DNA sequence: CCTGTTATGCTCCATATGAGCATTAATAGG
DNA sequence: CCTATTAATGCTCATATGGAGCATAACAGG
């Protein structure tokens, strides 16, 4: 920090642009599966506005929710030889009018171990755990093995009920260190999930983790839904993001007791089964409860 | 984003370095109350490591916990004329051996409206609310006034039990927009709290909000305490950060049931009153519960 | 009418949280 | 030794909140 080598570092923006269609979350990518990115443009007042304008140009639907994720600047993060700094953004696209095209990639293709909606994915017991075992056992000393074993146990617990869907980034980093993802470079033996260029899969992991954490305390799911939706549609979307099945009745109780939605009066028609009421998001809650609230045992 | 004007933008790091002494949180600042900052140095593997090395040089105690806060890059953020990008960090310093010197500033001097440990601070009813009222009433149209009133009501609720200690940033931004902090520039009539140069007070507000949110679901308080502490000391530290009084018995119950601490066997001596047992942080919980857990009604 | 399917209502229980009341263990000062 | 003071601790109780599951209701199609 004492050097004056501040000619300037190239800054780029990377956006994880998410849409959900038919119970599947998708990422907007370029042809080579890279995240859309561009140079930092100083013409906009804020980074976020710049991102929105740029996404419009790139042909993504208009971005709804936008949030800064993280600034990535490890030394080994080099694009075209020079070290680069990237500011990652997460953006959510409302239910797209036209079906998603070929430039949208289902995110579980890149993270097959993260989708637990139909039970623990087979790849975990069949391939990931054995490979991690082997990696752990290759550690030089016992204490290290101990620590690795702990990490593995937390990231990929045996008991399905222990699965913590938020640990997306920890899991990806664990697989990286064990050289079980192609991006780790050094001649990975096994490679799980569809790789992405540069550190983009890491950025996506960060985005998934953030999103999975956020849906629990902020009504962001609605940024991925059309204006009107059924409660089942809402639940399916949350499940798609979390990669988990939820208890239907309790999910509804939660949604209603929090006053997140209101009936529009209309119902679905034509489908099989009892028609469902249509709901819309109560924008007011954004103001009413600027946030859930406390976990501290306050006085008064 | 289509231009190739990427000669590079100067990047600087700003660190909000926090320590707690005697029930008071302090910030490390320079003589003119600026946050310690320095150019982005590419010699380190990660930004975090760079920050640690640099803090050591600057004479801050060794940093314990470090976390990236946010990247600030609004157009009006200019240092010495040119637009600059700043990566903000939050760092926590363990109980300092020597007393904190003059380069540490109590954070409530900059945010007097945030300390509710002795009840709602007088400044809110006496000065802030009237000034915000006036600002709201000066809005051109009724809908705008309506919205401002909502914002004010959430940021500074009348009922003390509605006070949400996490909204530090929202409150600061509200005061900024109402030109009630000196940094807003345009000839602020009133100015609340001790100002800081540039947008540094905004960065601190971001840090406070993050910290207040984080202590609820991650055991970060221990990063601000000595190895051994009493439960009262622990509670006082949390209260200092949150700016709130907590219910003693329930606080203890919470801490114990979460298995955060373990007795060291020793007790305090010399003080008045019954001696308290000394505790230490159970590092294991970091692994055991890599995180609190769910808010979603899972199945299974 | 009978069956399959999905939407909705409700109950029950375990645990967490919010508020207090009551005791106990030390120290300081007479 | 006795007493006031200062904290630490132990417990209780009512009320939320979260997890599971049973029971009904409303429609499509044969």
Backbone conformation region of residue A270, classed left if phi is above 0, alpha if psi is from -120 to 50, else beta:
left
Q: How many CB pairs under 8 A join A and B?
A: 179
Chain B partners within 8 Å of A13 (Cβ): 1
State residue A2's pLDDT score.
Answer: 37
Spatial distance between the Cα atoms of B85 and B72, rounded to a whole number of angstroms: 6
Residue A299 has pLDDT above 90, yes or no: no
A273 touches strand D (CB under 7 A): yes
Instruction: Tell me the CA end-to-end span of chain B in Å, nearest whole number.
Output: 47
pLDDT(A146) > 80:
yes
Q: Residue A229 above 60 pLDDT?
A: yes
Q: For A91-102, give one letter per residue: b (16+ CB within 10 A) or e.
A: bbbbbbeeebee
Q: What is the mean predicted confidence (pLDDT) over A159-174?
A: 93
For residue A109 the two structure tokens come to 């293709």
Identify the pLDDT of residue B76: 63
pLDDT of residue B77: 60
* CB contact (8 A) between residue A291 and residue B10: no
| Closest Cβ–Cβ partner in A5, A290, A300 for B161 | A300
Least confident window among A12-21, A41-50, A135-144, B152-161 = A41-50
Q: With contact defined as beta carbons under 8 Å apart, do A71 and A88 qualify?
A: yes
DSSP state, B278? E
Strand partners for A68: A89
> Does residue B223 contact residue B290 with C-beta atoms inside 8 Å?
no
Evaluate if residue A180 carries a pLDDT over 80. yes
What is the per-residue pLDDT for B94? 86
CB contact under 8 A, B298 and A38: no
Residue of A nearest to B246 (CA): A298
- Superfamily (CATH) of domain A11-106: Nucleoside Triphosphate Pyrophosphohydrolase (3.90.79.10)
Chain B neighbors of A1, CB-CB under 8 A: 13, 38-39, 41, 50, 53-54, 57
Nearest to B1 among A38, A161, A254 (CB): A38
Cβ distance B8 to A5 less than 8 Å, yes or no, reads no
Q: Which nucleotides of D are covered by protein (CB under 7 A)?
A: 5-12, 17-22, 25-29
What nucleotide is nearest A294 when CA is compared to C1'? C17
What residues does CATH 1.10.10.10 cover in chain B?
A: 225-288
Give the pLDDT band of residue B55 (cuts 50, 70, 90).
confident
- The answer to whether A46 contacts B74, with C-beta atoms less than 8 Å apart, is yes
Could you read off the pLDDT of B97-109 as tens digits, one per residue?
Answer: 667 778 899 999 9
Contact at 8 Å (CB) between A77 and A92? no
- The answer to whether A9 contacts chain B (CB < 8 Å) is yes
Which nucleotides of chain C are near protein (any atom < 7 Å from a CB)?
Answer: 4-11, 16-21, 24-28
Average pLDDT over residues B76-87: 69
Inter-residue contact A155 to B287 (CB < 8 Å): no
Whether A83 sits with its Cβ under 7 A from any strand D atom: the answer reads no
Residue A239: pLDDT over 90: yes
Would you say the C-beta of B295 is within 7 Å of strand D? yes
Q: Which of B6, B43, B154 lies at the smallest CB-CB distance from A40? A: B6
* pLDDT class of B2 with cuts at 50, 70, 90: very low
Other beta carbons less than 10 A from residue B275's beta carbon = 12
Tokens of B170: 């929202």
CB less than 7 Å from strand C: which protein residues? A 230-232, 248-249, 252-253, 267, 271-277, 294-300; B 161, 247, 249-250, 253-254, 257, 269-275
Q: Between A46, A50, A160, which is nearest B1 by CB?
A: A50
CATH of domain B11-107: 3.90.79.10
Q: What is the mean pLDDT of residues B2-30?
A: 79
E strands present in B22-119: 24-28, 37-39, 63-72, 78-79, 82-83, 85-93, 104-106
Amino acid B4: pLDDT? 37
Span B227-236, average pLDDT:
92
User: Which 8-state DSSP code applies to residue A99?
Assistant: P
Q: What is the pLDDT of residues B271-290, one digit of tens each?
A: 777 888 899 999 887 766 65
pLDDT of A5 reads 39
Residue of B nearest to A290 (CA): B154
Question: Model confidence at A257, in pLDDT bands (50, 70, 90)?
Answer: confident
Strand partners, B151: none
CA of B271 to C1' of D1 (A): 22
Enumerate residues 62 to 101 of chain A having a beta carbon within 8 A of any beta carbon in chain B: 68, 70-71, 73-76, 83, 85, 87
A201 pLDDT band, cuts 50/70/90, is: very high
Residue-wise pLDDT tens digits, B134-144: 999 999 999 99
CB–CB contact A216 B294 (8 Å): yes
The predicted structure's pLDDT at residue B37:
87
Q: Give the residue, B287 or A88, on which the prediction is more confident.
A: A88
pLDDT category at A63 given cuts 50, 70, 90 is confident
Please give the mean pLDDT across all residues of chain B.
Answer: 86
Q: b or e along A219-236 (b: 16 or more beta carbons within 10 Å of the residue's beta carbon)?
A: bbbbbbbeeebbbebbbb
B266 or B105, greater pLDDT: B105
Pick the CATH number of B225-288 from 1.10.10.10, 3.40.50.620, 2.10.10.90, 1.10.3720.10: 1.10.10.10
Q: CB–CB of A45 and B13 under 8 A?
A: no
Q: Are residues A41 and B85, on separate chains, in Cβ contact within 8 Å?
A: no
pLDDT of residue A281: 93
Pick from B203, B228, B223: nearest CA to B27: B203
Q: Which of A41, A68, A290 sits opposite B1 (nearest CB)?
A: A41
- Architecture per CATH, A223-288: Orthogonal Bundle (1.10)
In chain A, CATH 1.10.10.10 covers 223-288
> Could you give the residue range(s) of every CATH 3.90.79.10 domain in chain A?
11-106
Tokens encoding B265: 């066997």
Q: Give whole-number Cα distances, A161 to A158, B122, B232, in Å.
A: 9, 49, 35
Q: What is the pLDDT of residues A89-120, one digit of tens each?
A: 999 998 666 677 788 999 999 999 999 999 99
Strand D lies under 7 A from the Cβ of residue A42:
no
The b/e string for B169-195 (b: 16+ C-beta within 10 A; e otherwise) is bbbbbbbbebbbbbbeeeebeeebbbe
Indicate the residue of A2, A68, A74 with minimum beta-carbon distance to B71: A68
Q: Strands of B94-246 (E only): list them.
A: 104-106
Instruction: Quickly state the pLDDT bin for B153 (edges 50, 70, 90).
Output: very high
Mean pLDDT in residue range A118-130 = 95
Best of A290, A292, A293 to disrupt the B interface by mutation (most B CBs within 10 Å)? Answer: A290
Both tokens of B172, joined, read: 């600061």
A17 is written with which tokens?
Answer: 């642009």
Query: Which of A214-223, A261-270, B85-94, B106-115 holds the top average pLDDT?
Result: B106-115
Give the rounded percent of residues in chain B with a pLDDT score beyond 90: 57
Chain A residues in contact with B164 (beta carbon < 8 A): 290-291, 293
């Amino acid at each position: 920090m004492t050097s004056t080598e501040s000619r300037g570092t190239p800054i780029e923006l990377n956006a994880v642009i998410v849409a959900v269609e038919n119970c599947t979350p998708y990422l907007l990518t370029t042809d080579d599966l890279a995240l859309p990115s561009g140079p930092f443009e100083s013409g906009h007042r804020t980074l976020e506005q710049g991102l929105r304008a740029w996404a419009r140009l790139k042909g993504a639907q208009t971005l709804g929710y936008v949030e800064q994720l993280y600034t990535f600047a490890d030394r080994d993060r080099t694009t075209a030889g020079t070290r680069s700094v990237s500011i990652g953004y997460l953006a959510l696209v409302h239910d797209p009018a036209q079906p998603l095209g070929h430039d949208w990639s289902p995110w579980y293709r890149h993270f097959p171990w993260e989708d637990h909606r139909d039970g623990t994915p087979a790849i975990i017991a069949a391939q990931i755990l054995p490979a991690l075992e082997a990696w752990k056992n290759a550690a030089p000393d016992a204490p290290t093995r101990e620590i690795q074993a702990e990490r593995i146990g937390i990231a990929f617990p045996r008991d399905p009920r222990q699965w913590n869907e938020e640990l997306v980034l920890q899991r990806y980093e664990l697989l990286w260190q064990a050289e079980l993802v192609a991006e780790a470079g050094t001649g990975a033996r096994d490679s799980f999930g569809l790789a992405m260029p540069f550190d983009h899969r890491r950025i996506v992991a960060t985005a998934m983790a953030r999103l999975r954490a956020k849906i629990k305390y902020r009504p962001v799911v609605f940024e991925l839904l059309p204006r009107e939706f059924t409660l089942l549609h809402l639940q399916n979307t949350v499940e798609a993001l979390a990669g988990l099945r939820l208890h239907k009745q309790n999910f509804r109780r939660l949604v209603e007791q929090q006053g997140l939605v209101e009936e529009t009066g209309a119902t679905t028609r034509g489908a099989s089964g009892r028609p469902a009421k249509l709901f819309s998001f109560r924008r007011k809650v954004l103001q009413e409860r600027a946030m859930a609230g406390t976990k501290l045992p306050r006085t008064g």
